[in-house]
Structure 1
């Protein structure tokens, strides 16, 4: 009994081909209906899906004709970057709307969607594919990927429109590239020209300021420092020479005055003429008074002789001599007052003498009597020499004052030289830097002019159309055979999958194995099932219901295609045209 039960369980878990064939026979209607619906829908989709055509144009990025070592272009960005920039400028709202209106694109979509959605769809239909190659970088000498061309494409339902739109987009890209390069070259040249003009004006202003500064500080400039030092040395030597000459002339003046005082101006001998001797003694007295004190023996001796001669000749002191003596006493009194009190005997004595002298001067007539011109040749000669000596002294003193003024001026120049040198060096440095920058900008301006000429003659890097947009002959999508094949596979899989699920959920007892599974023993015999007339009617009714449901499904699918995808007459026209294209026959005409 145990072995029999074990055999029953093993047979239960093991299904042979007959079991699967039985399940297929029981579920063949459901499998057929599911397959028919899904496969029909897939075929309909494959046939009614509108074709999408694509037209493309290839644009080559050519290097400039003139070597870059000779002429440097003002456009230095990479080709990929420029293409992206051009795309942003080409795919603007205005350009795309102009293409849509010009070629009548997206008419149905414009009725159902907003303008922004239509523009987004058009941008998705425009494709740009870069074509790269390995090139040698001239700077590093290493191979690197570089964009040498790009492919511009457009997709749509109408092949003629697709070709025209692709051609229009190609022209926009070519024109925009030329416009951008020309504009950039012109902008670079304009900037360099403006910068050169600005630097030129700045150089002119700096030169004017430097010239004014040099004119204002002509003798304090750094290059004049050595000359100023030499002038100072020479001036100091000249001052020493002038001082020596003045001292010599002073000695000569004293000598001539002494000689002149001993000669009678009217031809008489000095030793025999008391008046001339009185005059000479007065001159000698003034000279000694300037050197010795009043108590000196020589000074007292001269005073006694002068007094004796004045009594003898009756000639009092002249006004000039008294004034000179008064000046001397005033100087002496001032010196004594600095040393002693006003009651000091010496101060009182000198003050008394000065008062007496002032009294004598007041008693003298204001205008001295006219004197007779001297006629003694020796006196006249000495007098002329004395006047010449006095003139020489005055001339040397004037020259000395001028030399001292010059020396002070030279010292001021040297004192101001460091500050002037700093400012002068700063101005020169700024001028030199500006000139160097101006020369650099001028060279770049010339390069910009050549680069502009290069771009205007289209000899620089340029876009060249090597493969224009062609009329597409075959659509790029949809792939109808692939859709039909996938529909076939999906329909079969769905049908058998539905049958497997239904079979797994069905717990009915069928066959000897089913009985053995319930009773745990194998039956002695199996009697085939004989359906009743009612069951046969129900089975036929169920079959018709399945067929009806399949027909309704197909009808619903057709209606959905007609109302939501494409009208049936248009679909029928497309099917006939496709059939004609495939067979070479005209089913439409």
Structure 2
């Protein structure tokens, strides 16, 4: 009989369900049973948290500047790396017997990495009007299977943070002070070297230093004055010696006249007058060329004065000549003595002049070298001043570092304080079994629908008259229903038993895998922060 009924979408779904119901049930029950098995077998994990408060320095930085620099977050990460090191976590794992089942099948490194994943930190910053403020606290959490153990481990980790922060700050403060001390010693050595160079320069160039310039000029002026006085003294001595020489010559002439019992003749007077004329002429020439202090000028003037005195004397009688003979005979020794004393005085003045000239040359050289020495002295002084400033700056920083280290030892700097210690959790934090079941139900439904749709898409057989009529374009005479034989029933039973067996194996396998599998809980815990 030909089927001419119109089919609706619901009819199509019912027909598909009638054909694929066992496949859909199997595809639906498999994932659902697995998700139920996983949700039941997964162990509960508990999380405990401890809140640590960051306490700011008790001493204001305007009074004591801390030598521990760097952002708090950076220091926290440094402390975290120290605490989450393999040695420390391995000690906690052994002490509290953490992850006993996982430790049987995993390496120590994997167990330590597992514990690192179970430890979580969250920073809490001050709320500012613009942007994020500085960190004022942070939360440290740990999760595991036993709530008491989890709380104890969390509190120990928090205590480690507090202790490690103190150690790091003291180590940084003392390290800064030690570094500055080494730098200070090195700088002091350089400063001492500059001081020695400056002292050696002053010692080797004494009298040529810039600050001695005024003293050198004053000494040079004094020496020039002494040289002028020495010249004047020499001129006076020369003048006296010339006068004595002329007097001695006159006495000798008188003595010669007395021995011959003849008075001084007019020829002698004419000779003296002629000599006086020549001396006046010579004096005129010398004055045109030299000053009055020139030695030859002084000598000629002395001779002129002596000749003029000689010509003024009157020689009237032999008695006067005779009376003049005795003194004349006695005068040569006295004149020789006076001449000897004058020459000694002149020699002393010349020796003094030589010494004065040497001193003038010395001080003149000092004055000439003063600009060059001043430049060298300024270079040395500049280097010394720069080194001194660096030394003073390092000394100040070293003293500040010592005070900062003392402050850190007294725990007056940034400190961590456990504000809220961890307590045993009353309810597990994972897994969320209801959510796992809901997800399993959704996945099972989607999987069943997808498999049925795929099976229908790959099925090329005709299941209704309309499908055959649309495909063949020929009249359909009769529709024969499906004939179920005993072999078909046996095959269906065998398939059903096989499906149940597969389902049971799937449930047992998933239960075995999920039982006590904390790592699977961690993977399925979407709420993990």
Q: Matched residue of 1:453: which SS? A: helix
Q: Confirm or deny that 1:22 pairs with 2:15.
A: yes
Contact 1:57 1:465 (8 Å CA) reproduced: yes
Q: Matched residue of 1:476: which SS? A: coil
Q: Confirm or deny that 1:494 pairs with 2:447.
A: yes
CA distance in 1, matches of 2:186, 2:462: 106
Q: Confirm or deny that 1:456 pairs with 2:409.
A: yes
Moved more, 107-116 or 396-405: 107-116
Q: Confirm or deny that 1:393 pairs with 2:346.
A: yes
Contact 1:86 1:176 (8 Å CA) reproduced: yes
TM-superposed CA distance for 1:99, in Å, is 1.6
Q: Confirm or deny that 1:254 pairs with 2:207.
A: no
Q: Confirm or deny that 1:233 pairs with 2:182.
A: no
Map residues 465-504 of structure 1 onto 2, 5 A cutoff: 465-504=418-457
TM-superposed CA distance for 1:224, in Å, is 1.6
Match of 2:297? none
| 1:443-494, Cα deviation, whole Å (9 max, x unpaired) | 2122212211221121211222222222223332222111111212222233
* Number of aligned residue pairs: 458
Q: Confirm or deny that 1:63 pairs with 2:56.
A: yes
CA distance in 1, matches of 2:43, 2:337: 139
Contact 1:36 1:550 (8 Å CA) reproduced: no
TM-superposed CA distance for 1:394, in Å, is 1.7
TM-superposed CA distance for 1:107, in Å, is 3.0
TM-superposed CA distance for 1:220, in Å, is 0.6
- Higher alpha-carbon Rg: 1
TM-superposed CA distance for 1:515, in Å, is 5.8
**Among 75, 85, 92, which residue is 1:92 paired with?**
85
Distance 1:134 1:48, change over 3 A: same
CA distance in 2, matches of 1:545, 1:449: 88
Distance 1:528 1:435, change over 3 A: same
TM-superposed CA distance for 1:257, in Å, is 2.0
Distance 1:202 1:502, change over 3 A: closer
Match of 1:554? 503
Q: Confirm or deny that 1:223 pairs with 2:211.
A: yes
CA distance in 1, matches of 2:457, 2:388: 97
Contact 1:29 1:546 (8 Å CA) reproduced: no
Contact 2:55 2:417 (8 Å CA) reproduced: yes
Q: Confirm or deny that 1:102 pairs with 2:92.
A: no
CA distance in 2, matches of 1:20, 1:538: 28
CA distance in 2, matches of 1:254, 1:499: 156
What TM-score comes out, normalization by structure 2 length? 0.76
Contact 1:38 1:491 (8 Å CA) reproduced: yes
Distance 1:563 1:478, change over 3 A: closer
Q: Confirm or deny that 1:271 pairs with 2:282.
A: no
**Among 64, 72, 75, which residue is 2:65 paired with?**
72
Map residues 134-213 of structure 1 onto 2, 5 A cutoff: 134-135=127-128, 143-213=131-201
CA distance in 2, matches of 1:511, 1:119: 64
| 1:279-331, Cα deviation, whole Å (9 max, x unpaired) | xx9xx9xxx9xx99xxxxxxxxxxxxxxxxxxxxxxxxxxxxxxxxxxxxxxx
CA distance in 2, matches of 1:518, 1:262: 180
Contact 2:48 2:142 (8 Å CA) reproduced: yes
Contact 1:33 1:547 (8 Å CA) reproduced: no
| 1:233-289, Cα deviation, whole Å (9 max, x unpaired) | 332333233223213322221221221244369xx95530369x9xxx9xx9xxx9x
Match of 2:287? none
What TM-score comes out, normalization by structure 1 length? 0.69
Q: Confirm or deny that 1:33 pairs with 2:29.
A: no
Contact 2:53 2:419 (8 Å CA) reproduced: yes
TM-superposed CA distance for 1:83, in Å, is 1.3
Q: Matched residue of 2:428: which SS? A: coil
Q: Matched residue of 1:219: which SS? A: coil
| 1:485-542, Cα deviation, whole Å (9 max, x unpaired) | 1212222233333333334444555555356446647879x8884x66xx26455434
Contact 1:55 1:470 (8 Å CA) reproduced: yes
TM-superposed CA distance for 1:383, in Å, is 4.5
Match of 1:441? 394
**Among 104, 108, 120, which residue is 1:111 paired with?**
104
CA distance in 1, matches of 2:344, 2:453: 151
Contact 1:131 1:147 (8 Å CA) reproduced: yes
Match of 1:363? none
Contact 1:52 1:477 (8 Å CA) reproduced: yes
**Among 107, 114, 119, which residue is 1:126 paired with?**
119
TM-superposed CA distance for 1:104, in Å, is 1.5
Match of 1:313? none
Moved more, 151-160 or 460-469: 151-160
Map residues 422-437 of structure 1 onto 2, 5 A cutoff: 422-437=375-390
CA distance in 2, matches of 1:514, 1:376: 185
